[in-house]
Structure 1
């Protein structure tokens, strides 16, 4: 077992009171959703703006935490201005711009039509899973993928004689595949920036954990997803060149190109293709980019404000108190990883937003990594995986609500849940990857230096931890 060489957190300042602002934030966000849901409001958990819930938590912190007003302001601004927080916010904006321009020039329609044209009707379920997985992987948005594919997948299922709930489960699973794995998804950005790791490193670990569940899902759908009576589907028009921006972003990001260059290059390529084919003008491209920026306003503000709130809570000893409690059930490196996964799962169930869950848990997970020498690249993958698992399963999540809304009452979330095969398999292999670390080969070749908080290949300092 790996051993730590620094004193335990029990020797540091710890305060249960310091956690109250965080609890207020979560309570307001969750409580408003429950109340609105009881009143029958649609999308109840998404009505109260999350940034305002964090503001209420911040106000609570200013009221109850010790110190002068100027000291609290300085701590709050320090958290908001953290380099990881600022970088995360800028990446959100650029990812929004890329997705918006690509959609405006017809990239999503081209991808969906390309798939439906070449998929035999008897394999519509597996085809829908692959199409949605590609779109969510390319755009980084599970909701956006469901919105793009759902209205097409449901009538395609009905026309081909397929099980409607099964096909809807395929849409949901494909959407969560990309939400979890995509280089430019909100969850990846939040997980990598809060843990201080490179996106390509998290992707490599995440890929090996998700690969087997995805392949098994495809095999299951090939054998058990065929309709009893097959009705041929009509062909669709598409221009394959409009898929290129998504491929460009995927390939260059995996190759290790700087994420800002990846997103800027993808946006420019999408814009040029749109202009060439007459779908965009220079001005409409700029407008689409800015619309993408505006679409990220909520998560931008939430990340910024929560960064400040987390710093105040940490400074007052709240994070150390939580770690002290977690340490009572953690016995080593593997149980520490389980703790990170459990933390992400429970938080997502509570707030019904996987990105919010990762932002809330990021600082605690980072401290657990430091305490138990869990590689933060693995931690980033676990945060993303387990938050996405439950985001896809909770009946009150945006993904499930939007998807079932397209069925106009024919199918409920509880009809879809038995067919979310990929998500269940991902949960199994997520746990297996902790006890049988088959996805850690890259990590072992370049271990993490906990002294410098960088991979050893990027550090000039010797390793400062013992290995079993």
Structure 2
């Protein structure tokens, strides 16, 4: 197969088949969550196997091989490992009482009116320090679920709060892979991209926190004394502490699982075999999510091989005639790439060289280009119901990822202010760029 497939509009259609199935099922049943996500993607994968690259004919065996290579990509397998470990950690925290203890501790110390904006700000801080939205979501989603149950609030809302805070750091952090990818692709310094991003994301974060402040959280329930046993809170202290040191997310989860296992054995929540059973239960919760991730990887590989991604790039860049047009095309390109790949880092890496060429041709400031790549990829990533972030939160909460999207208020605000930034040319840099990262 040729390394650079010819642009082909049919190559992008599998993702539209998936979206069409979701919409059709939602309209037919008046329930947008009626179509199971995995079934939808499997049907889209079946459709993808019927297609062909332009000017070529691949056998079904060759297409299945391409699908398997995409599903077995190292990034996909890493996601599967993270999903399974996150499930194990969540199950253990429930069985040892860690989740309930942490929630009740928060209810006793944080004013009721500040619980939701407080959770959002905590997620923002942790994700900024960690540089990973996935680590934040796996660490704090159990607490969000516990708060929802304790306060009688919608778990969809609480998961939206966690995802919102997680995407804040994913976009802004100095150590985020999206930040690194965006700055390297445009050859700009991390601090310059940070300054451009900060002016756009700050109003989005403030509005999100203000909206959460006005959500009625009711009256706190009575608390039991045993809920304050601090040893039960230890797993969350360990996992957050390890994350803030910049430790790899797999090691962070391993530390959390180890500490939760130790606490459970010490306080008699289970014996060794009960520990193993709890871990197995949690991993079982994530099996569906792991299959979704593998299926998405396979579909993306087929769309790339068919020329669908190449067609999308050509479509969004062919009518650029001005600097503002170049910036809108860059924003649209990275956003659509994120919608098709469900991976904001891959979207940035793919769009980066095209964005660099467009920016140079139309005199767009590379610092703004790097900022736009990160802003629009993270905004879309935080709203796509089949992104790893929403799938993970949904699996932990036991709800549909489609039902969380409406509560991802920060990514929505980020998208709005990103569009305003492109339309107005704000923020603008007065001083010339210094080379180097």
Residues 268-417 of structure 1: pairs in structure 2 closer than 5 A: 268-328=258-318, 334-340=327-333, 342-343=335-336, 347=339, 358-359=341-342, 365-373=348-356, 379=373, 382-389=376-383
Determine which of 125, 129, 150 is the counterpart of 2:117. 129
Q: 1:140, 1:182 within 8 Å by CA — same for their partners in 2? A: no
TM-score (norm 2): 0.66
2:93 is equivalent to residue 102 of structure 1:
yes
- Unpaired runs of 5+ residues, structure 2, are 124-132, 185-189, 357-365, 386-390
Cα distance, 1:334 vs. partner?
Answer: 3.6
2: CA distance between counterparts of 1:12 and 1:235?
62
1: CA distance between counterparts of 2:140 and 2:392?
9
2:168 is equivalent to residue 176 of structure 1:
no
State the SS of the aligned residue for 1:60. coil
Structure 2 vs 1, CA of residues 262 and 390 (structure 1 numbering), >3 Å: closer, same or farther?
A: closer
Deviations 1:278-309 (A, max 9, x none): 22332233223223322222332222233233
Cα distance, 1:327 vs. partner?
Answer: 0.9
Name the structure 1 match of 2:246: 256
Q: CA RMSD in A?
A: 5.0
Aligned residues: 379
Deviations 1:188-234 (A, max 9, x none): 9997999999xxx9xx9699576664455546766x6789xx97864
Cα distance, 1:268 vs. partner?
Answer: 0.7
Structure 2 vs 1, CA of residues 304 and 421 (structure 1 numbering), >3 Å: closer, same or farther?
A: closer
2:113 is equivalent to residue 113 of structure 1:
no
Query: Please, which moves more after superposition, 29-38 or 107-116?
Result: 29-38
Cα distance, 1:379 vs. partner?
Answer: 4.3
Structure 2 vs 1, CA of residues 232 and 382 (structure 1 numbering), >3 Å: closer, same or farther?
A: closer
Deviations 1:222-270 (A, max 9, x none): 6x6789xx97864453233433333433343343222222221121112
State the SS of the aligned residue for 1:140. helix
TM-score (norm 1): 0.62
1: CA distance between counterparts of 2:207 and 2:48?
45
Q: 1:139, 1:182 within 8 Å by CA — same for their partners in 2? A: no
2: CA distance between counterparts of 1:239 and 1:319?
53
State the SS of the aligned residue for 1:279. coil
Cα distance, 1:422 vs. partner?
Answer: 5.0
1: CA distance between counterparts of 2:36 and 2:177?
19
Cα distance, 1:113 vs. partner?
Answer: 0.8
